[in-house]
Amino acid sequence: MELTIKRLQEYLKEKYTILKPEELKNHERYFWKLIEEIGELAEVIKKDKRMTGDNIKGTIEEEISDVLYYVVMVANTYDIDLETVFRIKEEFNKKRYGHNLKIDK
């Protein structure tokens, strides 16, 4: 099954509704977690540590996944629909950078 941004947002919303409902409005907590994960990503990028087989621990793949997780969590705490805002921002960028690429094929 394809994993869309929408499904990822729904999944994490469901997960936190069950496990930590009080955290779903905690904007700052997830913002700081995001910054922490960006720091971890910087470290593994510096070491150029890539995933081999299923061994994800301590790799760029692990940390970029963590960054995505917390980007989604920050969006969820603000009830931001990431697909919608990405489309709006890309329309803005199209004019700014002068291209006419389409997101939908």
Figure out which of the listed residues 23, 61, 66, 90 binds Mg ion, where binding follows CB under 5 A. Answer: 66
Comparison of 34 and 75: residue with beta carbon closer to Mg ion: 34
Comparison of 56 and 82: residue with beta carbon closer to Mg ion: 56
User: Minimum CB separation from Mg ion for residue 37, in Å?
Assistant: 5
The verdict on 23 binding Mg ion (CB under 5 A) reads: no
Contact between residue 41 and residue 60 where contact means Cβ atoms under 8 Å apart: yes
Figure out which of the listed residues 5, 29, 33, 40 binds Mg ion, where binding follows CB under 5 A. Answer: 40
H/E stretch holding 47 reads: helix 27-47
Please state, in angstroms and as integers, the Cα–Cα distance from residue 98 to each residue in 4, 36, 39, 76, 88, following that order.
27, 35, 33, 31, 15
Residues of the shown chain interacting with Mg ion in the complex, contacts defined by CB under 5 A: 37, 40, 63, 66
